[in-house]
Amino acid sequence: MTASTTSLALATGVVFALAVRALLGRKNRDRAQALPPGPPGLPFLGNLLQLDAKEPWLAFTQWKEIYGDIVYCKLLGQGIVVLNSHETAVELLDKRSANYSDRMWGSSMLQSYQLDDMIVFLPHDDKWRAHRRLLHQGLRQDAVKMYYPGQLQGAVDLVENIRSSPEAYYTHIRRFTASVILRAVYDHQLDGDDDAVLRTLEEGIDLMNRNVVPVSAILSTLLPVLRYIPSWAPGGWRNAAQLRHMIREMLDMPFASLEQRLASGEAGDCFGANALERFRNTDKVKDFETIVKDACGFLYLAGSWGGNTSSLSVFILAMVLYPEIQKRAQDEIDIVVGTDRLPDFTDRPSLPYLEALYRETLRWRPVVPPGVPHVSTNDDIFQGHYIPKGGSLKSDHEAMSQNPENYPDPSAFKPERFFDQDGNLNDDTVDYAFGFGRRICPGRHVASGSIWAAMANILASFRIEPAKDAAGNTVKIEDIGWSCAATVCPKPFPCSIVSRK
Ligand code: HEM
């Protein structure tokens, strides 16, 4: 053996020994440090079999009873820290947000669908900061007044659509949500039922609802071949190329139309036009056109795919189940607004019971019950528990909203819980429904305006009652199913919506 091969062998040996030591060191440290308590799991699968793949948060919330406010479990090798109380989520995700604002979405499934550039999936990096800056400027509380006219017009159209076919209320709610967000982001006014942008959006969301859900994510991670099933074959809706094409169309079509209308001077005020204008002549944001296009695209997806439709469906369900609460809100509207016009945003501060009803709708059935996971950038210690780098933290909104210490009789729908002893609205605005820290939902003020406008206009115009069957008996709806995709939503259920006039 020559001197040089000996030193090479020695160097290789040292590197190998160091690598093994580092690996063992990390493993031993993980063991030695007290991870938060949690249920024992199986090798590789971890706690996967203890979860209902469609509604995993139900197990998270049950574990709170056994293990407390902070629970550790593992799914397919990924460590998950479940934050079961508002206080723990604030401590970690808000107060230590510098360490807990990453995401773990670099999954091959997202890449194959080209969804990984969407802000919700972006890591905590410069691109995410550029998106966030844009969204903050267009969606912060004092900027969202710009969207009021579109939200009110959408609510008036919603009332007209429900009046003409009340049984299709769910379709009308979806249409309302889509029309409001298309107008807010692209100044796109729907061209009747056949609007090409709307059609592409609805088809795309339908495909995404079937694909970008926990069950599909697990299946397509374990069996990537599923993404190549031809689109015409059974299960072909998982076809990656088809979904990619659809998503591209959803993003490109309304943006191209906005650019055309900007060029011809026809575009009105909207998020996209303002963002392009703001950044066009500055060097603040690199590659700003792509950033603006992607930011618009995700707003439009989040705004129509996300929580608004689900929250309004929860509201309709609550109104069927709690007629006396519906009546109280209607009495308030009748006294404050009168019966000659529909409510608008100037009435909002004078309608405290309706405000409480809005908050209770967010609380009673949170539409994003397990939150969106935040990922830790570095190891951390919290209340004596070791939280490893790369751990995924879930803020369990279901456990927070059903906590009987904060909300006595939590399963009941009671807007009254949001008033203090003097009859004033309390400070609990149920903000946790929109997440925490640097990742908190940037669309929450827009969402609040859209949901409030729809609720106020529906209550002013209709009585929402249980449906009757052919024999005139009340149809029971307690056992309705819930659809679980990007958000959790009651499956369309029968009810009777009749004009109050
Ligand atoms: C009731 C309606 C809505 C609910 C309950 C809701 C809830 C949420 C939640 C829980 C998150 C994750 C926050 C976190 O990581 O801690 C989120 C993220 C997000 N939401 Fe919403 N949302 C709603 C409506 C909207 C609307 C209308 C828009 C657009 C106008 C929107 C845009 C976004 C965006 C862009 C993100 C990603 C933020 C990031 O990762 O930095 N959301 N939302």
Pocket test for ligand 1, best of 368, 441, 487 (most atoms within 8 A of CB): 441
Angle at 53 between CA 47 and CA 55, to 5 degrees: 105
371 lines ligand 1 (CB under 6 A): yes
- 136-182, pLDDT tens digit by residue? 999 999 999 999 999 999 999 999 999 999 999 999 999 999 999 99
Checking ipTM against 0.90, whether it exceeds it is yes
- Residue ranges of alpha helices (H) inside 140-195 are 148-164, 169-186
pLDDT in tens, 46-88: 998 998 877 778 888 889 999 999 999 998 888 999 999 999 9
Ligand 1 site, residue 439, Cβ cutoff 6 A: yes
Helix (H, G, I), strand (E, B) or coil at 214: helix
Alpha-helical (H) ranges within 226-322 are 240-263, 271-280, 288-305, 307-321
* Residue ID of nearest Cα to ligand 1 atom 11: 441
| Residue 13 pLDDT class (50, 70, 90 cuts) | very low
pLDDT of residue 23: 45
Q: How far is CA 118 from CA 137, 246, 311, 340, in A?
A: 18, 15, 23, 44
- Which residues make beta-bridge pairs with 107? none
Q: What is the largest CA-CA distance in the chain?
A: 100
* Confidence bin at 300 (pLDDT 50/70/90): confident
Find out whether the beta carbon of 361 lies less than 6 Å from any atom of ligand 1. no
pLDDT at 282: 67
Residue 443: closest CA among 253, 288, 273, 308: 308
Residue-wise pLDDT for 334-351, tens only, equals 999 999 999 999 999 999
- The pLDDT confidence band at residue 1, using thresholds 50, 70 and 90, is very low
Residue, of 385 and 230, whose pLDDT is higher: 385
pLDDT single digits (tens) 244-296? 788 888 888 899 999 999 999 998 899 999 998 887 766 666 777 888 888 89
**Rounded CA separation 179/190 (Å):** 6
Q: Which of 260, 253, 290, 254 is nearest to 275 (CA)?
A: 290
Q: Is the CB of 138 under 6 A from ligand 1?
A: no
Tell me which DSSP letter residue 498 carries: E
Q: Is residue 52 exposed (0-12), middle (13-18) or buried (19+ Cβ within 10 Å)?
A: exposed
Quote the ligand 1 centre to 84 CA distance (angstroms).
Answer: 20
pLDDT of residue 287: 76
Amino acid 5: pLDDT: 40
Minimal-distance CA residue to ligand 1 atom 27: 303
Q: One-letter amino acid identity for 92?
A: L
Tens of pLDDT along 178-205?
Answer: 999 999 999 999 888 788 888 888 787 7
Measured distance CA(60)–CA(80) in Å, rounded: 10
pLDDT of residue 6: 40
Quote the pLDDT of residue 2. 39
Over pLDDT 70: what percentage of the chain?
84
* CA distances, 30 to each of 24, 391, 448 (Å): 10, 12, 42
Please compute Rg for the chain using Cα positions: 25
For ligand 1, is residue 415 a contact (CB within 6 Å)? no
pLDDT, residue 284, reads: 64
The conformational region for residue 398 under phi > 0 = left, psi -120 to 50 = alpha, else beta, is alpha
Closest CA to 464 of 297, 317, 268: 317
Question: For the residues 442-467, what does the mean pLDDT come to?
Answer: 96
129: enclosing H helix or E strand: helix 126-139
Shortest-distance Cα residue to atom 23 of ligand 1: 307
- At residue 219 the predicted structure's pLDDT band, cuts being 50, 70 and 90, is low
Q: Is the CB of 182 under 6 A from ligand 1?
A: no
390-421 pLDDT, tens per residue?
Answer: 999 999 999 999 999 999 999 999 999 999 99
Quick: pLDDT tens for 86-126: 999 999 999 999 999 999 865 556 666 667 778 888 999 99
Lowest average pLDDT, out of 128-137, 138-147, 206-215, 425-434, goes to 206-215
Q: What pLDDT shows up at residue 397?
A: 94
pLDDT at residue 193 in the model: 75
Which numbered atom of ligand 1 lies nearest the CA of 122? 40
Query: What is the pLDDT confidence band of residue 480, given thresholds at 50, 70 and 90?
Result: confident
Atom of ligand 1 nearest to the CA of 433: 5
Query: 289-299, pLDDT tens digit by residue?
Result: 888 888 898 88
pLDDT for position 100: 97
Ligand 1 touching residue 119 (CB < 6 A): yes
* Ligand 1 centre distance from Cα of residue 246 (Å): 22
Residue 333 Cα to ligand 1 middle (Å): 29
**Residue 181 CA, closest ligand 1 atom number:** 30
Q: How far is ligand 1, taken at its centre, from the CA of residue 417, in Å?
A: 25
Whole-number pLDDT of residue 16: 43
**Confidence at residue 281, expressed as pLDDT on a 0 to 100 scale:** 66
Helix (H, G, I), strand (E, B) or coil at 385: strand
Say if residue 24's pLDDT is above 60. no
Among 86, 434, 436, say which to mutate for ligand 1: greatest number of ligand atoms within 8 Å of CB. 434
**Which residues contact residue 149 at a Cβ distance below 8 angstroms, ignoring those fewer than 6 apart?**
none
pLDDT for 14 equals 41
Average pLDDT, the chain: 86
Task: Give the residue with greater pLDDT, 472 vs 212.
Answer: 472
Give CA–CA dist 246/191, Å, rounded.
20
CA distance 110 to 55: 21
Q: 415 CA distance to ligand 1 centroid (A)?
A: 23
Q: 27-38, pLDDT tens digit by residue? A: 545 544 699 999
CATH topology (fold) of 30-107+373-402: 3.30.43
Q: 429-442: b or e for each residue (b if 16 or more CB lie within 10 Å)?
A: bbebbbbbbbbebb
* CA of 420 relative to ligand 1 center, distance in Å: 29
Long-range interactions of 237-246: CB distance < 8 A, separation 24+: 237/207, 237/210, 237/211, 238/210, 238/211, 240/112, 240/113, 242/207, 243/113, 243/207, 243/208, 243/211, 244/112, 244/113, 244/114, 246/200, 246/203, 246/204, 246/207
